């Protein structure tokens, strides 16, 4: 095991990693921007180093600053968390060149799966079903029109280097395609420095189902069940649950086996996620691979009893997976709600500011809150608006839903506005209670009829 790990991230995931390291007896180094000087992760780590100004490009995305911090503190490994540099293959390669372990897959794997077009081709070779669509990069609007006519509308334009909902456009007709193609390309260029586009048939209605995988350096790969992430707004997940109510036992087994086959096709090491879309008939199609720990990883931890962050640290340090696929069992039901500093009543506008009084749910079995908030903390306006995750585990789905309702009722964040009330209204909707929803439900059915009761 490593003696010291640098966490190249901020917020609740940095706190989560620090706690896992401490339980393993590993010293930690936090990095922070000037805006995060008072952040909780800087207080919990054994050491903390400022790596630049508030702007992420000058701090958390600054490869040289992060690596320099690791070198001067003699950190043996870097955990990137999610976002920021977590799926930057050049950063992973530079860590290797500096004899610093990157806690994640190899740089070549990140590179192969980071380009969604390459990923599609690799999966097809591994006999993993992919969504019908283009082959290779689409070179022009005319080519896009030809392909879309061939597979039929509606289609989805996607950035090859995409992620986080950027560079994606839903196209309903040929009249819309030219404008959407241009705008998606421009957004992709600005976000990723790469404007390569590809096109896929829209699977509608669909469930967004992802499978958690874990691999070691010795070729062993297992899956830890699936998460249903179908409740989304603007292609961003809002709530996740496991197991999925929409999958039969036979389909669950097939999905897990397919995910493991996909991971083995790229010699996957460490924690990762294979994302699928499932149509009404139960057929599923590969969408993408996330080569990092996911925001929603606690859902899987709750139903399997396996600490995924500790597992990441162990396999990255050279340990063999201590369990086989037969050892993995799914017990009960878990749900996660993302709590964001935003105002749902005003189109989910960010709501940074100072937290004057904070009360987070606690107590009772099967409740967990991952957060980096505290009373008196000022949430900066420069980063993602997610400030906490509420995770519950119940004997069954209804038990978990009732626990989540109780937990959301208890949240108090005087000084800022959050989406806690929105989440509460969402999980008490009859469709969500019944598990009858798809990826379009939140945006097309729930939001048009939702009326906020207050500012908090």
Give me the catalytic one of 292, 368, 397, 406: 292
Q: List residues bridging with 212 in a β-sheet.
A: 273
User: Would the pLDDT of 163 be above 80?
Assistant: no
Q: Mind listing the pLDDT tens digit for each residue in 130-156?
A: 999 999 999 999 999 999 999 999 999
Residue 161 binned pLDDT confidence (cut-offs 50, 70, 90): confident
Give the mean model confidence (pLDDT) for residues 415-424. 98
DSSP 275-336: EEEE-TTS-EEEEEEE-S--TTHHHHHHHH---HHHHHHHHHTTPPPS--GGG----SEEEE
Q: Tokens at residue 271, please?
A: 């924690």
* pTM of the predicted protein model: 0.94
- Residue 64 confidence (pLDDT): 98
- Give the integer Cα–Cα distance in Å for 266 and 274: 12
Q: How do residues 7-49 score in pLDDT, each as one tens digit?
A: 999 999 999 999 999 999 999 999 999 999 999 999 999 999 9
pLDDT of residue 21: 99
State whether residue 123 is helix, strand or coil: helix
77 cis-preceded (ω within 30 degrees of 0): no
**Mean pLDDT, residues 417-444 taken together:** 98
Helix (H) or strand (E) segment spanning residue 197? strand 197-201
Work out the mean pLDDT of the chain and round it to a whole number: 97
DSSP structure class, residue 443 = I
Pair of tokens at residue 368: 């967990």
pLDDT-based confidence at residue 454 (cuts at 50, 70, 90): low
Does 292 qualify as catalytic in the annotation?
yes
Q: What is residue 162's predicted lDDT score, i.e. its pLDDT?
A: 77
Closest CA to 202 of 178, 179, 177, 171: 171
**Structural domains in the chain plus CATH codes:** 4-103 (3.40.50.20), 132-201 (3.30.1490.20), 207-449 (3.30.470.20)
Strands 77-79 and 101-102, sheet pairing: parallel
If one counts every other C-beta atom within 10 angstroms of the C-beta of residue 330, the result is: 16
Cβ pair 51, 337 in contact under 8 A: no
Report how far residue 199's alpha carbon sits from residue 135's, in angstroms, rounded to the nearest whole number: 9
Please count the other Cβ atoms lying within 10 Å of the Cβ belonging to residue 362.
10
CA dist., res. 249 & res. 417, Å (int): 41
For residue 296, the model assigns a pLDDT of: 99
Segment 251-288, tens digit of pLDDT: 999 999 999 999 999 999 999 999 999 999 999 999 99
Spatial contact of 221 and 215, defined as CB atoms under 8 Å apart: yes
Tokens of 388: 């906490």
Q: How confident is the model at residue 363 (pLDDT cuts 50, 70, 90)?
A: confident
Q: What pLDDT score was predicted for residue 166?
A: 86
First-to-last C-alpha distance (Å) of the chain: 44
Across the beta sheet with 207-215, the strand order is 284-290, 270-278, 207-215, 221-233, 236-242, 333-340, 386-394, 367-371
Cβ(108)–Cβ(36) below 8 Å:
no
Q: In the prediction, which pLDDT does 369 show?
A: 98
- 13: part of which helix (H) or strand (E)? helix 11-23
Check whether 455 has a pLDDT greater than 70: no
SS3 assignment, position 447: helix
Q: Is the per-residue pLDDT at 308 higher than 60? A: yes
Region 82-91: mean pLDDT is 97
The angle at the Cα of 95, spanning 89 to 96, to the nearest 5 degrees, equals 90
Give 109's contacts (C-beta < 8 A, 6+ positions apart): 266, 267, 268, 269, 291
State how far the Cα of 185 lies from the Cα of 157, in Å rounded to an integer: 9
Beta-bridge partner residues of 168: 158
Q: Coil, strand, or helix at residue 136?
A: coil
Between CA 137 and CA 147 the distance in angstroms is 12
Task: Give me the helix-helix angle, 177-192 and 141-151, nearest 10°.
Answer: 120
Tokens matching residue 143: 């080519």
Measured between alpha carbons, how far is 263 from 437 in angstroms, rounded to an integer? 28
Given this model, what pLDDT does residue 390 score?
99
Residue with tokens 């401490």: 22
Q: What confidence tens digit (pLDDT) does each residue in 198-217 have?
A: 999 999 999 999 999 999 99
Question: What per-residue confidence (pLDDT) applies to 191?
Answer: 87
Q: How far apart are the C-alpha atoms of 287 and 237, rounded to whole Å?
A: 15
DSSP, residue by residue, 66-88: HHHHHHHTT-SEEE--SSTTTT-
Q: Do the Cβ atoms of 288 and 275 come closer than 8 Å?
A: yes
Strand partners, 318: none
- C-alpha 48/C-alpha 51 separation (Å) is 10
Residue 170 pairs with which residues in a beta bridge? 156
């Amino acid at each position: 095991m490593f003696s010291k790990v640098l966490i190249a991230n901020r917020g609740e995931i940095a706190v989560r990693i620090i706690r896992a390291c401490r339980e393993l007896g590993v010293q930690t180094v936090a990095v922070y921007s000037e805006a995060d000087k008072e952040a909780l992760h800087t207080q919990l780590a054994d050491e903390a180093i400022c790596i630049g100004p508030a702007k992420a490009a000058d701090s958390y995305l600054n490869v040289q600053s992060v690596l320099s911090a690791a070198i001067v503190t003699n950190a043996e490994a870097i955990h990137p968390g999610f976002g920021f540099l977590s799926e930057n293959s050049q950063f992973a390669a530079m860590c290797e060149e500096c004899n610093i372990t990157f806690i994640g897959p190899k740089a070549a794997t990140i590179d192969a799966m980071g380009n969604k077009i390459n990923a599609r081709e690799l999966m097809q070779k591994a006999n993993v079903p992919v969504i019908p669509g283009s082959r290779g990069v689409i070179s022009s609007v005319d080519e896009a029109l030809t392909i879309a006519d061939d597979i039929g509308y509606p289609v989805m334009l996607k950035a090859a280097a995409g992620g986080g909902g950027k560079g994606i456009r839903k196209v309903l007709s040929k009249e819309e395609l030219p404008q959407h193609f241009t705008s998606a390309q421009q957004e992709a260029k600005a976000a990723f420095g790469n404007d390569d586009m590809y096109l896929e048939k829209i699977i509608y209605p669909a469930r967004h189902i992802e499978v958690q995988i874990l691999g070691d350096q010795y070729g062993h790969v297992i899956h830890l069940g699936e998460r249903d992430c179908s409740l989304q707004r603007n292609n961003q997940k809002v709530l996740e649950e496991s197991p999925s109510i929409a999958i039969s036992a036979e389909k669950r087994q097939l999905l897990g086996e397919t995910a493991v086959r996909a991971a083995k096709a790229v010699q996957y090491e460490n924690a990762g996620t294979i994302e699928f879309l499932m149509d009404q008939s139960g057929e599923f199609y590969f969408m993408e691979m996330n080569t990092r720990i996911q925001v929603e990883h606690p859902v899987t931890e709750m139903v399997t009893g396996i600490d995924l962050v500790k597992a990441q640290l162990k396999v990255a340090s050279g340990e063999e997976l201590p369990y086989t696929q037969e050892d993995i069992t799914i017990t009960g039901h878990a749900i996660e709600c993302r709590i964001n500093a935003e105002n749902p009543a005003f189109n989910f506008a960010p709501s940074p500011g100072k937290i004057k009084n904070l009360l987070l749910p606690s107590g009772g079995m099967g409740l967990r809150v991952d957060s980096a908030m505290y009373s008196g903390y000022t949430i900066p306006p420069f980063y993602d608006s997610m400030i906490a995750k509420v995770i519950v585990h119940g004997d069954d789905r209804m038990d978990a839903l009732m626990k989540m309702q109780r937990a959301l009722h208890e949240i108090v964040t005087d000084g800022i506005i959050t989406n806690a009330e929105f989440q509460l209204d969402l999980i008490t909707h009859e469709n969500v209670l019944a598990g009858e929803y798809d990826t379009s439900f939140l945006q097309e059915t729930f939001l048009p009829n939702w009326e906020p009761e207050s500012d908090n």
